Structure 1
Amino acid sequence: MTTFLLSPESPFIQLKDQIEYSTSGIISKAIVKDDACQYSLFCLAAQTEITEHTSTRNATIYVIEGNGSLTLNGKAIPLEPGQFIFMPANAPHALSAVSNLSFILILSSTT
């Protein structure tokens, strides 16, 4: 069973307090999920890579801190704080963190 950071009894958090990095790899925290969307916090240690893959759902990334690069449909997009990116379902994408990198990932239904 997944534990979520938000619930009806606790409907808010300070995201900066949830950011944490391991010495390598990824820490992922489920924020909240409803019938249409799933919200997660991803914290990637510097030099971490996520190899190219696709998702059957639309995805949106909002970068909170750090730097990296997202390759979406073969195009490199720099990742830096404040960057907001929409990825349509089934679009090939990969990600690499240059420095410690945290972002919100929102997966949404395509219908």
Structure 2
Amino acid sequence: MQDSTVHNIQETIEYQKNSIVSKTVIDKDTGTVTLFAFDEGQNLSEHSAPHEAMVHVIDGVGEYTIGGKTHRVEAGEMIVMPADIPHSVRAPEKFKMVLIMIENIEE
């Protein structure tokens, strides 16, 4: 999808029952942009990444536990996940998000 065509972000990824669906939009050495659609009740268990990340919820509500603190993020809101901090994601209802990860490049 790396072209200059206009896309409707809500229609670019669809929900699937009892699943988490992901679609990579940009994949570069310096970072990625990925769309996710979580069905209600789905989750990503606690993990950490060596990259800074920003999540923008575009539909529904997601719950993010970052460093032991839980945040409820609604459509139109975003949250930053610092590198190397354990985090998890839970879908109390179905929701869609955009995940932007930026590589930490040491000079």
In the alignment, the residues of structure 1 paired with residue 32 and residue 6 of structure 2 have an alpha-carbon distance, to the nearest angstrom, of: 16
- 1:14 and 1:23 map into 2 onto residues whose CA distance is 22
Q: How many residues align?
A: 105
Measure how far apart 1:35 and its partner are. Answer: 3.3
1:80 corresponds in structure 2 to 74
Structure 2 residue 22 is the aligned partner of structure 1 residue 24: no
Task: Give the CA deviation at 1:33.
Answer: 2.3
Whole-Å separation in 1 of the counterparts to 2:87 and 2:51: 13
Judging changes above 3 Å, is the alpha-carbon distance between structure 1 residues 35 and 11 closer, same or farther for their aligned structure 2 residues? farther
Shift, 1:44, TM fit? 0.4
Amino acid in structure 2 at the alignment position of 1:74: G
Write the mapping of 1:1-111 to structure 2, written as runs, cut at 5 A: 6-8=1-3, 10-111=4-105
Identical columns (%): 30
Structure 2 residue runs of 5 or longer lacking an equivalent are none
3-state SS of the aligned residue for 2:7?
coil
Q: Which runs of 4 or more aligned residues in structure 1 lie more than 2 Å from their structure 2 counterparts after TM superposition?
A: none
